[in-house]
């Protein structure tokens, strides 16, 4: 993956102790909503680099990355500590196939994420294409604590703008939250509760599923869906399940 260029930190928004969003200014090449870039910092004389999805849509003035500080992580604690005016490295070109042009047509699009992996979905939801192509869009976001439900203001704007099309279903696993389901996404999928609550059926002939985030969630949900007759979406063999794992 491509050329490294300099990015300037415009803002580092801390949502809580660990979750943060970096607003960056860099002369990047055009990208597709859902793609990721790489961020890098020199640590002990070596460029340490990691992948991060864009949260902003491609036509934004600034770039936005939503990340978490991983305890004992090499790069993310350093990113977390950056301040306005600091510089870091970013790859000019973005990468990845977690984009709408890879998703076959269907009636409903389900976007299922954990933690910071809501980012690429927000990028996609800010573009017109998704609203033109799918009759309903279900955004599922699983977090541990209520305070981890970032970007609520932005999600509320999407809800009021696309009220007949979007269904947003948060999950909070570690504490009660009256507006979220408790427990894991996988459990609610397995016992049919998710379908009942959002009042839409999950069926291969009507649904495309995008899964992003924690590899355990991605693996377990994919497994459950395959049992229901869904297939992996591959370029050589289009199916219904498209995935991006963060580690
Ligand atoms: C395609 C792709 C896109 C990604 N986009 C994002 C993004 O938008 N935001 C983001 O925060 N991370 C994202 N990641 C993960 C990111 O690249 C780093 O792995 C993460 O920031 C940790 O780096 P580190 O050097 O601090 O930790 P490392 O020392 O590399 O430790 C890695 C460990 O950190 C944990 N971890 C990694 N990512 C996460 C996470 N997001 N949430 C919780 N635990 C995690 C896992 O246990 C993993 O084994 C993405 C990864 C991939 C492959």
Is the separation of the CB atoms in 38 and 49 below 8 Å?
yes
Please determine, for residue 169, whether its predicted confidence score (pLDDT) is greater than 80.
Answer: yes
For residues 123 and 184, what is the distance between their CA atoms, to the nearest angstrom?
Answer: 24
Pocket test for ligand 1, best of 21, 93, 122, 246 (most atoms within 8 A of CB): 246
User: If you average pLDDT over residues 218-230, what whole number do you get?
Assistant: 97
Please determine, for residue 22, whether its predicted confidence score (pLDDT) is greater than 90.
Answer: yes
For residues 214 and 193, what is the distance between their CA atoms, to the nearest angstrom?
Answer: 21
Which helix or strand (DSSP H or E) is residue 198 part of? helix 193-198
Residue 100 structure tokens = 């709408």
For residues 29 and 25, what is the distance between their CA atoms, to the nearest angstrom?
Answer: 12
- The residue whose C-alpha atom lies closest to atom 35 belonging to ligand 1 is 70
Correct CATH for 4-91 of 3.40.50.300, 2.40.30.10, 3.40.50.1820, 3.30.70.2860: 2.40.30.10
For residues 129 and 124, what is the distance between their CA atoms, to the nearest angstrom?
Answer: 8
Is the separation of the CB atoms in 122 and 154 below 8 Å?
yes
State the pLDDT at residue 69: 98
pLDDT digits (tens, 9 = 90+) for 60-107: 999 999 999 999 999 999 999 999 999 999 999 999 999 999 999 999
Q: Do the bridges between strand 166-172 and strand 181-182 make them parallel or antiparallel, or are there none, so unpaired?
A: parallel
For the CA of 68, the nearest atom of ligand 1: 11
For residues 22 and 13, what is the distance between their CA atoms, to the nearest angstrom?
Answer: 6
Please determine, for residue 1, whether its predicted confidence score (pLDDT) is greater than 60.
Answer: no
Quick check: CB of 21 below 6 Å from ligand 1?
Answer: no
State the pLDDT at residue 2: 80
Correct CATH for 100-245 of 3.40.50.300, 3.90.550.10, 3.40.50.261, 3.40.50.80: 3.40.50.80
Give the domain ranges of the chain.
4-91, 100-245
User: If you average pLDDT over residues 4-13, what whole number do you get?
Assistant: 98
φ, ψ for residue 123 (rounded to 5)?
Answer: -60, -45
State the pLDDT at residue 56: 98
pLDDT band, very low/low/confident/very high, at 214 (cuts 50, 70, 90): very high
For the CA of 96, the nearest atom of ligand 1: 1
Quick check: CB of 1 below 6 Å from ligand 1?
Answer: no
State the pLDDT at residue 5: 98
Mean pLDDT of the chain, nearest integer: 97
Distance 207 CA to ligand 1 centre (A): 28
């Amino acid at each position: 993956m491509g050329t490294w260029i300099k990015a300037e930190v415009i803002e580092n928004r801390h949502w809580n102790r660990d979750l943060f969003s970096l607003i960056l200014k860099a002369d990047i090449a055009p990208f597709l909503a859902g793609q990721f870039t790489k961020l890098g910092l020199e640590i002990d004389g070596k460029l340490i680099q990691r992948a991060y999805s864009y949260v902003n849509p491609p036509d934004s003035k600034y770039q936005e990355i939503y990340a978490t500080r991983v305890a004992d992580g090499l790069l993310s604690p350093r990113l977390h500590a950056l301040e306005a005016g600091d510089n870091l490295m970013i790859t000019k070109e973005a990468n990845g196939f977690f984009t709408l042009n890879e998703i076959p047509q269907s009636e409903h699009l389900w976007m299922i994420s954990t933690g910071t992996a809501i980012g690429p979905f927000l990028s996609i939801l800010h573009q017109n294409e998704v609203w033109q192509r799918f009759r309903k869009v279900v955004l599922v976001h699983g977090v541990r604590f209520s305070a981890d439900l970032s970007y609520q203001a932005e999600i509320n704007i999407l809800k009021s703008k696309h009220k007949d099309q979007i269904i947003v279903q948060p999950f909070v696993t570690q504490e009660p939250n009256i507006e979220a389901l408790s427990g894991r996404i996988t459990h609610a999928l397995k016992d049919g509760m998710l379908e009942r609550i959002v009042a839409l059926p999950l069926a291969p002939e009507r649904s495309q599923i995008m899964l992003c985030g924690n590899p355990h969630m991605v693996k377990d949900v994919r497994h459950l869906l395959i049992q229901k007759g869904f297939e992996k979406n591959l370029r050589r063999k289009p199916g219904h399940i498209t995935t991006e794992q963060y580690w």
